[in-house]
Amino acid sequence: MVKCVVKYDNNPNGIYYSGQSLSGIIEFENEKTRNVRGVSLRIEGFAKCSWSESEGTGKNRRTVRYRGREDYINSFSYLIGSYDVTESVLTEGVHKFNFSCVLPQQLPTSFESHYGYIRYQIKVEVERPWKFDIKYCFGFTVIKILDLNYEPPAIRSPMKTETSKTFFLGLGSKPLFVAAEIPMSGFVSGQLIPVSVKINNESSTDVEATRVSLKKIIHYNSLTPRRRTKERIEKVAEVIHVGVPGKSKNNVTAMLKIPPVPPTNTAYCKVIQVSYEIRIKAKIGGIHRSPGLRFPITIGTVPLQNSIYTQPRLGWNAGAAAAAALPLPSTSNAQPSAPEFDALQPSAPFDLPPPSYQEAIGGSTKKDSNNGEALTEDQPFSPMYPVFNFSSQPQPQSQINIQPSNSELPPSYNASQENYQEKKGF
């Protein structure tokens, strides 16, 4: 049997930023001399999604398979042999082959989910005459830098929203007011999000619980047989606080900690887009619908600094040079390490240590079937993302003003928005 491993240069876990150079050694251990047509190397990166839907009724009912794919890298070369050589020899012993590939600047971040993925992988194939080929597949992580300091200034501003609900239990029924605030809308994995919630329950209906959750919203876009979008919402984190009885008030601050998750991706991949929302729900029992609020947020890979970042945005050429200058990230089970934080931005907020790299929550590692065309040895793989340690740093404080109890509705109340929230669910 031929054993094959990939060893990345100064990067044991294979974590790269877009624009960096991927390089390493492919090592074969062959217990005996073999005749082969060749040994090939393919470095590829692509996004893919797929799902099925039932359409039509009665005899016309059928299952339609929707698919989408977008390719980013497809580099092919022979380690042994060539296109013109029909037979070569893989001798007994250990063989090492160097490889390198410059990753394009605009690669989307690696991502795994139920209906699709963005994958980067190295495929090594031993092509054997009159036998099944042997294929080896090794995944590596690519991270597209999303520096929150280059995002629009509004990302630094507090966000507030409020709503109310009347239960119509009688002509004199009073409303339930719910208001919430977050100090900003840009965060990174490892950071705590303080969500301030104030509930003024003037009604006679009890609020059973206050749920504050972080949702990951994934949109899959098919290209065949026609364009179609599928949405999947996943709960990433949740904090549940006690309820608020009727004719009472309560103020809570829910601290949501962002686990290892891929950054927001809405610009660099046409097949899969990833966004995040904070959702607040005042849980009402019985037949009543629970009022809810939501904040769209951005999860990046470089956190906001204390002061406003006034340097101009890097051009594409400058950005590529900056990414190429980053030290290669690496991790270990004992003490994860990362690129120097100063290489990502001029100064770190609160003098943060460099991020560690951890596997994503709920990331899938399922591989595609080879359909019997080869003997495939897939190595287990899950993407890893930067996670910052804010445990010893001060957390931002937020304040909120709730609408006075004698008002019928908060000033920003929007009935159509509430209907949308109730229809979509929380």
Q: Copy the structure tokens of residue 285.
A: 């029992």
- d(CA 322, CA 148) in angstroms, rounded, equals 16
pLDDT value of position 107: 96
Eight-state DSSP code of residue 265: B
Residue 65's Cα: distance from chain center in Å? Answer: 25
Give the chain's residues under pLDDT 70. Answer: 1, 169-172, 306-351, 362-379, 392-426
What stretches of 129-271 adopt beta strand conformation (E)? 133-139, 141-143, 159-165, 176-182, 186-188, 192-201, 207-222, 228-244, 248-257
- In order of 145, 229, 294, 366, 386, the CA distances from 190 in angstroms are 16, 31, 21, 26, 9
pLDDT value of position 381: 82
pLDDT in tens, 86-138: 778 888 889 899 999 999 999 999 999 999 999 999 999 988 887 888 899 99
SS3 325: helix
Residue 307, C-beta contacts closer than 8 angstroms, at least 6 positions apart = none
Q: pTM value?
A: 0.80
* CATH dotted code for 2-147+310-387: 2.60.40.640
Tell whether omega for the bond before 225 is within 30 degrees of 0, i.e. cis.
Answer: yes
- d(CA 252, CA 244) in angstroms, rounded, equals 11
Domain ranges of the chain: 2-147+310-387, 149-303+396-424
CA end-to-end span of the chain, whole Å?
52
Alpha helices in 207-361 (DSSP H): 316-325
pLDDT value of position 174: 86
- d(CA 192, CA 170) in angstroms, rounded, equals 42
CATH among 3.40.50.300, 1.10.1370.40, 3.30.200.20, 2.60.40.640 for 149-303+396-424: 2.60.40.640
Q: Is there a shared CATH topology between the 2-147+310-387 domain and the 149-303+396-424 domain?
A: yes
Residue 418's Cα: distance from chain center in Å? Answer: 27
